[in-house]
Structure 1
Amino acid sequence: MMIENWYWMLVYPALILVVMETLWIGSRRRPGFGHKSAIVITIVVRIIYLTWRVLFTIPSDAWWNTATGILLLTVEVLGFAQSLAVYVTLWTPYAGRTVPLPPADELPRVDVFIATYNEPVSMLRMTIAGAVGMRYPTDGVRVFVCDDGAREEVRQLAEEYGAIHLIRPDHAHAKAGNLNNALGRSDGDLIVTLDADMVPRPDFLERTVGRFQDPELGFVQAPQAFYNEDPFQYNLFSGQALPNEQDFFMRTLQAGKSRFNAVMYVGSNTMFRRSALESVGGFAVGVITEDLATGLLIQGAKYRTEFVPDIIAAGLAPENLADMLKQRDRWCRGNIQTARKWNPLTLPGLTLMQRWLYSDAVVYWYFGVFKLIYIITPLLFLLFGVVALDTSVEALLIFWLPTYLCVMLCFAIIVGRRRSHSWSNIYELALTPAIALSAAAETLGLRVKAFNVTPKGVGLKEQVFHWRIALPHLVLLTLAAVGLVRGIFLSPELANTSALYINVFWCLYFVVGLVLAVTLCVERPRLRSAERTPMSTPVTAAFQNFGAHPGELVDLSLMGARISIPWSERLDPKGFASKASSVTALQIPEVGELPGIGSWIVNSSDGVTIGFRFDPLTPEQTVDLVQVITESPSWVRGDEEEKAYLATAGWRAVRGATTPTLPWRRAQVRMATNSSAVLHPVTLFERGPALELAREREAAFAVDRVPTAAAGGLALDVVDHPKAESLDRDPGALTAAVEDIGFGGCRLSLRHRLEPGALVIVEIPGSLAQPEVAEVRWVKRRWVGYEAGLQFDRANPTG
């Protein structure tokens, strides 16, 4: 398609950008502003783009070019259809409702099914305690632990908490068979299903039971939320910047589907009417995703369904990329299986919108195939000269550019901070090869693997690289490198042609995502034995020789707590013998006194910070403690908090598609070791080009030792720790850089070597709320200086 005076036509993309940017700015200042206008503009712009694609860009010079061009266009049309489903779903923001409980004499009986197979008992304990602790005006709640592993320790755990332990003689139909076994051995009017890691809040029943006063309501679905970081957040050091990868579906799309009675049952955090389940023969069997099929059948039976937008239960996201792939492989194959057995397009009883949304949910799982087509198309040109797009750079600027900008900004307007278009691309690229293989195998009817439970609660002790997962990405990156070299340097006939520019840009776009996908395969250790919940509530600590002193609860888990106690007249640095073990009990509001022992203690100028490990808790104490944890506003991070660098906004959103930024900032770290107490002023460098960053790092390392006063800090008080009798107090200063920091520890770059096994006290203002005792776990030689990995004592399973 030849365009004369094409630069005049750039007014069109410029106008689109100005309008969409204005709508985006308005939506940031007033939620909901420009919501529907952005959707309408984006749909119109995409229709214009696809019309241009159909009429002017399909190659006709060779059959292989034409076939490749049609295949690429088909994928783009399917992508538009999927986006259209999202736009329709989110056209009107969901307005949830609150329904109070009926009078006590009308309350239904509730049976809670906790499905388990081989999950850790420590994980089940928290879930059972949460279920037992749910508030309800009557005693009409029974908790069933549906144990397909038939484990003695699980039976004992259930009996401790007054729950009913159910087993069966076989494992037929996996989770669906397990739940159906419980359904046949219970008689409650309402059924709650919980995964082994999903802990309900105390108000779970208060937020759900009242809705069933409507006799046509079949089930209520609450979002699956997570109180740990998923592999994307954790491996990319982005827990404070990126929302959980599942939040967009679990909390945004599900809310939109509720308007069309198309809420999907997702296996947990759900309440059913027993009669609705029985009307479809119980939980669906014969497919991997019994949850999707069961919800589909209930809606086909003309029952109404609702979505509860509140977080009333939360659990653990997969803790590494390999486990996430197992989970997504199961979802992919299960969705395709369900569509084959109960086709939403032909299943009786469904509305037109239900058929569309369920079909769209199945088509979504072919995203791996679609992404591979997008990635391979420019490689076919660069390697073999196959042309899939017959157009010019000028035409792309006129038709493709405004479409791309519209899609990104519209997504930011209607979704907000729960997802970005750029990160969606990265999420999908990381899973593309594996999901493409799963979708293709299931579609062709190839042998299905045995059902696999997604591992949860299993910490990774060492850093690993998932070669098998990364290998397809590395192959694609190698092909991209070869193609770029061949296309740019070894094919003079392609020089200065529009096709070369287009395909090089296209190839580089996906190379960025593939590089990040490989980065995700570097799995960081998860050393913690239990997730800690940040707290800020009053607490009283009982000291063996100093009496009881008030303080603040910093964080809390079922294993222990961290508390901060200010100095006072009765507790001062001079008279305080810094012994962690002198702390014998904590008095926590709404829980009472919990005995235990201090595992570490750190003095500062303001007071003392103590790590406390509980003695074995009684079931009653565990139930109370779980209630305190789950009712904390910090248990599950709010999705509306201000994000540091989520690429969803204006020009940052456009730039973020190809150059995601990192949250650099300036801080200090102070360390006291058992060999020499030193003050380390550490610079975390501001954003900037890689070369500038490297020069700053080199300049920082040029400083060897400077006096403590010059660093602008004070020497730390050395404190006692169970692992060492004393730490020296020789102050000094050393410049270093914090490479990363997480719950379990931190990684430092420094000029001088630290000895493995050395104990250190780390204070990083702005990153650590309190000083931390840490142990040097490893030291590596670098080109300049050393790199050291430090494990915080609070991440030690024994501490």
Structure 2
Amino acid sequence: MFALDDIVVSLGPALLALGVAMAVLPMFRPHTQPVRMLVFATVILLGWRYIVWRFDETIPEFDFSIDAWVAWLFFALEAMTLVSSTISAVIMSRTLDRRREADAHLSWWGKAAPPRVDILIATYNEEASILERTIVGAMASNYPALRVRVLDDKRRPWLREMCERLGVHYHTRPDNNHAKAGNINACLATLRALPDPPDFISILDADFVPHVDFVPRALALFHDPTVGLVQTPQHFFNPDPIQHNLGIDKSYPDEQRFFFDHLQACRDAWGIAFCCGTSSMMRWKGIEAIGGFPTDSVTEDFLITLRLQEAGWRTVYLNEPLTEGLAPEGVVEYVVQRTRWCLGLIQIVRGPSGPFTRNRLRPIDRLSLTDAFLFWSTTYVFRLACLLIPLLYWYTGITAVNAPLSGILVYFGPFYIFSMAALRWISGGVMLPVLQDVSQVIGAEQMVRAVWTGLVRPHGQPFKVTDKGGDRTKTIVQWGLLRPLAIIFVLTLVGVFFTSATDIEFERDAGDGKWVVLFWTIYNLAVLLVAMAVCIEIPRAKTVPTIAPERSRLRLADGEASAWLVRLTPLEAWIRGGPKVKEGMTLGIEIEGVGVVAAKVAHIRSRGAAIALQPSEDQRQRIVAKLHTKAGKHGTLRIDVGGIASGFWRRMVRPIP
């Protein structure tokens, strides 16, 4: 049994790390380069201090016993994970913000004709409402030399008719070879045959709506003739499955915020930012130089950056919210999307543009690929191991980490606390341990299978589309994802209570290391509980964009009046504070940027009136553009711990519909 005094003393280094982080880091901005480098150098040193102690003090002599095998295998996995974390820490020690560069080089072509830009909207199975707002949003751009093209890989007559009605180009092909990359390549062949092919192309997924300044802002960075691709971040106007199913979309950022708002900017500082598909712009000469979009990976976006780099073209990152799209709405779609990313990266590593292949990649590109490979190949295996290893102790007495609690506090405590503080400092506070682990636990089994598939059979794997839209009005329990989590949760609970209730003494006694396993187990139970809640999908309404309240003129039969327009969709408006109106009354409502729209009062509420709109086709397009193409607030960007606790509590106690 450990002594309380020993534990208090052992907490000293961790408390020192916490104190330094709380006292010093707020004094500096995260962009202060020397401080940033010092912070992440400290993270690296603390991490390797821990791993050296683990090797020197806690690993048994190697033999062919099950205890030794488990201990050494888990240590090897820890060490590989730390190698990945070390590379990531080096990358995060620098960052770059190109917004001023974009400001300085708008209209860099001077008095010459502006470059031709074609926006390519790749689509497969999206709904009409989703496609309409993307097309209308692209057409609303304030850039003059622009053409919009819809690439329909499902050959739908209604979409051809929509494109004709909206005045954009419609493209299709006779087959679906090579999925999205093949769809884009088919369009590139058409563009190549034109008398006026574009100077630049921009890729949009069918659910991503560009802001009016997306094209000129992205185009500004092509003032540098060596730039072949500009990537911008992806923002979302709907909560992802973790946010929604836990009821925390107002208090916890979407899962991709850290990557797009911080990690990509860090990679850009090292010259290793990469294409993420949608919301990107590419130089036509660069795409032609590499023969179009590569088709030997299901993540053609990452691979296109490597092929451009091999041909001498750089990829840069403009960290500015210029598009908004749909995050996966269901947890299955969430897992499918990330499994595709995982498989695609492993395919790249195994291919001709891999880090260990003779090619024209720079050493920093190889390090970048190694970092990505280690992330996908170790993170999810390590997370599964962390769930399963304690079960070995509770049921068999096998101890993977035979370490005293005091040692864990002295060596692991400072590393964990300071690394989390560093990540929160550079991100403005978007990292929270349990929820961060939940995003890795969900679908971990599928990710591990994807890694294995990519390593063993990298070729011939199908492209799995991430479904968007659809009916989300019912509660759905995703048993395929929940069942293995529930089994581990129950086994963990039974193991803890069984061994503690019967006071079984194993031959392999872990001493006060039992407390390490106990705390580890409690943390696992918390992560599993939250992950299981995410797998129970609660109904969600269609995402309805909102506008800031604005004054609007009402045209009534007996004159004009003023009211506040507080909400708007293409077919309905909500007003407050205006004249008394009656249900069924016809009127005109003047909407800024749209004009006077014919309307009828649909129903009266205590806080205002709902107005059914009857817009013309042009007015409808203007409303869609007004709702989706202006810069505004982009979801939750900071963590509210109180809001998370409140939302999760309501989610747990609320009856499932």
TM-score for the superposition, normalised by structure 1: 0.75
1:174 aligned to 2:179?
yes
- The 1:646–1:436 alpha-carbon spacing in structure 2 relative to 1, beyond 3 Å, is farther
Contact 1:218-1:273 at 8 Å conserved across structures: yes
Contact 2:81-2:374 at 8 Å conserved across structures: no
- Please state how far the C-alpha of 1:48 moved relative to its aligned partner: 1.0
1:399 aligned to 2:411?
yes
1:133 is matched with: 140
2:623 is matched with: 625
Separation of aligned partners in 1, 2:397 and 2:243: 39
**What letter is aligned with 1:93?**
T
- Please state how far the C-alpha of 1:611 moved relative to its aligned partner: 2.3
1:271 is matched with: 281
Contact 2:31-2:95 at 8 Å conserved across structures: no
What stretches of structure 1 of length at least 5 have no aligned partner? 648-659, 665-689, 691-738, 741-746, 750-786, 790-799
1:409 is matched with: 421
**What letter is aligned with 1:78?**
M
2:541 is matched with: 527
Separation of aligned partners in 1, 2:210 and 2:304: 22
- Please state how far the C-alpha of 1:500 moved relative to its aligned partner: 2.1
Q: Secondary structure at the match of 1:661?
A: helix
**What letter is aligned with 2:295?**
V
1:117 aligned to 2:124?
yes
- The 1:8–1:119 alpha-carbon spacing in structure 2 relative to 1, beyond 3 Å, is closer
Contact 1:24-1:412 at 8 Å conserved across structures: no
Contact 1:260-1:354 at 8 Å conserved across structures: no
- Please state how far the C-alpha of 1:298 moved relative to its aligned partner: 0.8
- Please state how far the C-alpha of 1:183 moved relative to its aligned partner: 0.7
Contact 1:225-1:315 at 8 Å conserved across structures: yes
Contact 2:538-2:656 at 8 Å conserved across structures: no
Cα shift readout 1:299-324 (whole Å, capped 9, x = no counterpart): 22221121111111111001111111
Cα shift readout 1:238-286 (whole Å, capped 9, x = no counterpart): 1111111111112211111111221111111111111111111110113
1:337 aligned to 2:337?
no
State how many pairs are aligned: 640
Cα shift readout 1:741-770 (whole Å, capped 9, x = no counterpart): xxxxxx998xxxxxxxxxxxxxxxxxxxxx
- The 1:5–1:203 alpha-carbon spacing in structure 2 relative to 1, beyond 3 Å, is closer
1:661 aligned to 2:645?
yes
1:595 aligned to 2:608?
no
1:148 to 135, 153, 157: 153
- Please state how far the C-alpha of 1:19 moved relative to its aligned partner: 1.2
- Please state how far the C-alpha of 1:24 moved relative to its aligned partner: 4.3
1:375 aligned to 2:413?
no
2:487 is matched with: 475
Contact 2:121-2:149 at 8 Å conserved across structures: yes
1:437 aligned to 2:436?
no
Separation of aligned partners in 2, 1:108 and 1:577: 51
**What letter is aligned with 2:485?**
H
- The 1:260–1:457 alpha-carbon spacing in structure 2 relative to 1, beyond 3 Å, is same
Cα shift readout 1:119-143 (whole Å, capped 9, x = no counterpart): 111111111111111112x4x3211
- Please state how far the C-alpha of 1:452 moved relative to its aligned partner: 2.4
Contact 1:35-1:413 at 8 Å conserved across structures: no
Contact 2:249-2:636 at 8 Å conserved across structures: no
Cα shift readout 1:207-249 (whole Å, capped 9, x = no counterpart): 0223223221110001111111111111111111111111111
2:517 to 503, 520, 541: 503
Separation of aligned partners in 1, 2:88 and 2:433: 13
Contact 1:129-1:623 at 8 Å conserved across structures: yes
**What letter is aligned with 1:83?**
S
Separation of aligned partners in 1, 2:611 and 2:83: 55
Separation of aligned partners in 2, 1:582 and 1:551: 16
**What letter is aligned with 2:300?**
E
- Please state how far the C-alpha of 1:157 moved relative to its aligned partner: 1.0
1:41 is matched with: 42
**What letter is aligned with 1:505?**
F
Q: Secondary structure at the match of 1:188?
A: coil
TM-score for the superposition, normalised by structure 2: 0.91
- The 1:130–1:42 alpha-carbon spacing in structure 2 relative to 1, beyond 3 Å, is same
- The 1:477–1:8 alpha-carbon spacing in structure 2 relative to 1, beyond 3 Å, is closer
Contact 2:347-2:458 at 8 Å conserved across structures: no
- Please state how far the C-alpha of 1:448 moved relative to its aligned partner: 6.5
**What letter is aligned with 2:81?**
G
Contact 2:203-2:281 at 8 Å conserved across structures: yes
**What letter is aligned with 1:374?**
C
Alignment of 1:553-702 (within 5 A): 553-566=565-578, 571=579, 576=580, 578-579=582-583, 581-604=584-607, 609-615=608-614, 617-618=616-617, 620-634=618-632, 636-637=634-635, 639=637, 643-645=639-641, 661-662=645-646
1:293 is matched with: 303
Contact 1:127-1:200 at 8 Å conserved across structures: yes
Separation of aligned partners in 2, 1:447 and 1:405: 42
- Please state how far the C-alpha of 1:622 moved relative to its aligned partner: 3.7
- The 1:446–1:204 alpha-carbon spacing in structure 2 relative to 1, beyond 3 Å, is closer
> Larger % of helix: which?
2
1:672 is matched with: none
- The 1:373–1:552 alpha-carbon spacing in structure 2 relative to 1, beyond 3 Å, is same
- The 1:415–1:633 alpha-carbon spacing in structure 2 relative to 1, beyond 3 Å, is same
Separation of aligned partners in 1, 2:161 and 2:624: 19
- Please state how far the C-alpha of 1:646 moved relative to its aligned partner: 7.6
- The 1:280–1:509 alpha-carbon spacing in structure 2 relative to 1, beyond 3 Å, is same
1:203 aligned to 2:213?
yes
- The 1:586–1:453 alpha-carbon spacing in structure 2 relative to 1, beyond 3 Å, is farther
Contact 2:116-2:200 at 8 Å conserved across structures: yes
Cα shift readout 1:329-378 (whole Å, capped 9, x = no counterpart): 21111111121113133352222222111221122223221211121111
1:220 aligned to 2:230?
yes
Separation of aligned partners in 2, 1:265 and 1:646: 36
- The 1:70–1:559 alpha-carbon spacing in structure 2 relative to 1, beyond 3 Å, is farther
Separation of aligned partners in 2, 1:61 and 1:788: 51
1:71 is matched with: 73
- The 1:104–1:234 alpha-carbon spacing in structure 2 relative to 1, beyond 3 Å, is farther
1:103 to 110, 113, 117: 110
2:194 is matched with: none
Separation of aligned partners in 1, 2:554 and 2:502: 73
Cα shift readout 1:654-698 (whole Å, capped 9, x = no counterpart): xxxxxx62259xxxxxxxxxxxxxxxxxxxxxxxxx9xxxxxxxx
**What letter is aligned with 2:74?**
L
**What letter is aligned with 1:563?**
I
- Please state how far the C-alpha of 1:617 moved relative to its aligned partner: 4.3
**What letter is aligned with 1:17?**
L
- Please state how far the C-alpha of 1:491 moved relative to its aligned partner: 4.6
Separation of aligned partners in 2, 1:34 and 1:490: 53
Separation of aligned partners in 1, 2:202 and 2:631: 24
Separation of aligned partners in 1, 2:237 and 2:33: 28
Separation of aligned partners in 2, 1:632 and 1:143: 19
Alignment of 1:321-336 (within 5 A): 321-336=331-346
Q: Secondary structure at the match of 1:492?
A: coil
**What letter is aligned with 1:594?**
V
1:784 is matched with: none
**What letter is aligned with 1:100?**
L
Q: Secondary structure at the match of 2:112?
A: helix
Separation of aligned partners in 2, 1:273 and 1:29: 32
Separation of aligned partners in 2, 1:29 and 1:112: 35
Separation of aligned partners in 2, 1:175 and 1:400: 45
- Please state how far the C-alpha of 1:540 moved relative to its aligned partner: 2.4
Separation of aligned partners in 1, 2:300 and 2:631: 32
Cα shift readout 1:405-436 (whole Å, capped 9, x = no counterpart): 12221221122233334422121122322322
Separation of aligned partners in 2, 1:29 and 1:211: 24
Contact 1:319-1:456 at 8 Å conserved across structures: yes
Separation of aligned partners in 2, 1:284 and 1:326: 21
Q: CA RMSD in A?
A: 2.8
**What letter is aligned with 1:103?**
G
**What letter is aligned with 2:389?**
T
Separation of aligned partners in 1, 2:271 and 2:554: 52
Contact 2:574-2:610 at 8 Å conserved across structures: yes
**What letter is aligned with 1:601?**
I
**What letter is aligned with 1:373?**
A
Contact 2:241-2:329 at 8 Å conserved across structures: yes
- The 1:434–1:586 alpha-carbon spacing in structure 2 relative to 1, beyond 3 Å, is farther
| More RCO (CA 8 Å, sep 6+) | 2
1:670 is matched with: none
